[in-house]
């Protein structure tokens, strides 16, 4: 293992970008396709971070496999339509200050960046291209290749790809799924309060960020705590 390298893994929706408008609209289309009323806003946002099929199953536990497949396809179609119509900057805008944070961390020679997201590979590539930030992340893990969060597979693969030891890695996210995934993989968890889960749901986090600009300092504080 390369013990001198460090890895910061970011969740995407609710952590790097605010895509809730398109998520809510796409979920409404998904439920409309199977003849059901869409759940309330906070209920929908509460499943953000899960892989899409698992998220819809959580929201519609009585729907059969055929219905789930129909809903998933309707969600994808609507999400892609919205992104194509509005563009990435409107569909999934970066939170204020996030690009500065990414550039700051990327500029530190010992720090590698990665993402672990419930998005599909197609959705992730489109987002990265739209914000011109794909080059910042040396490892990009998505739902197409892994079990849903909070399974640790995404983080474990990111560690393997970069050669970074678990004690030198931090997972940053806005949901309990991110925090639980980090703990399952043996890496530190840094929760953020500007996303889709309530701060109370981030109790497994080692530290909590209330402001985007505090992320670099908190990441290094976590590493100091663990050495």
What would the pLDDT profile of 198-209 be if each residue is shown by its tens digit? Answer: 999 999 999 999
Predicted confidence band at 2 (pLDDT cuts at 50, 70, 90)? very low
Instruction: Count the neighbouring beta carbons within 10 Å of the beta carbon of residue 177.
Output: 21
Structure confidence by residue, pLDDT tens digits, 134-145: 999 999 999 999
Structure confidence by residue, pLDDT tens digits, 22-44: 999 999 999 999 999 999 999 99
* DSSP class of 11: -
What secondary structure does DSSP assign to 180-219, as a single string? Answer: HHHHHHT-EEEEESSSSS-GGGGTT-SEEESSGGGHHHHH
* DSSP class of 145: G
pTM: 0.92
d(CA 170, CA 10): 9
User: At 142, is the secondary structure helix, strand, or coil?
Assistant: coil
Q: Check whether 18 has a pLDDT greater than 80.
A: yes
**pLDDT value at residue 204:** 95
Q: Check whether 179 has a pLDDT greater than 60.
A: yes
Q: What is the average per-residue pLDDT within 169-185? A: 97
Residues 128-154 as b/e (b if ≥16 CB within 10 A, e otherwise) read bebbebeebbebbbbbeebebbbbbbb
Q: Check whether 45 has a pLDDT greater than 70.
A: yes
Share of the chain above pLDDT 70, in %: 98
């Amino acid at each position: 293992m390369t013990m001198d390298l460090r890895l910061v893994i970011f969740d995407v929706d609710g952590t790097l970008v605010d895509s809730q408008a398109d998520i809510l609209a796409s979920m409404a289309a998904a439920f409309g396709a199977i003849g059901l009323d869409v759940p309330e806003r906070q209920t929908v946002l509460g499943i953000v971070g899960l892989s899409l099929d698992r998220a819809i199953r959580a929201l519609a536990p009585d729907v059969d496999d055929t219905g789930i497949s129909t809903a998933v396809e309707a969600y994808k179609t609507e999400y892609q339509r919205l992104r194509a119509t509005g563009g990435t900057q409107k569909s999934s805008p970066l939170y204020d200050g996030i690009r500065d944070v990414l550039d700051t961390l990327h500029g530190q020679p010992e720090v590698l960046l990665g993402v672990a997201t419930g998005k599909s590979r197609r959705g992730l590539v489109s987002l990265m291209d739209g914000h011109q930030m794909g080059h910042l992340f040396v490892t990009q893990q998505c739902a197409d290749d892994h079990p849903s969060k909070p399974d640790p597979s995404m983080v474990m693969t990111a560690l393997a790809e970069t050669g970074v030891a678990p004690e030198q890695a931090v997972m940053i996210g806005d949901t309990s799924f991110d925090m639980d995934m980090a703990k399952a993989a043996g890496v530190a968890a840094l929760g953020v309060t500007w996303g889709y889960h309530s701060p109370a749901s981030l109790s497994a986090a080692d530290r909590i960020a209330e402001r985007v600009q505090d992320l670099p300092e908190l990441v290094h504080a976590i590493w100091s705590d663990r050495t």
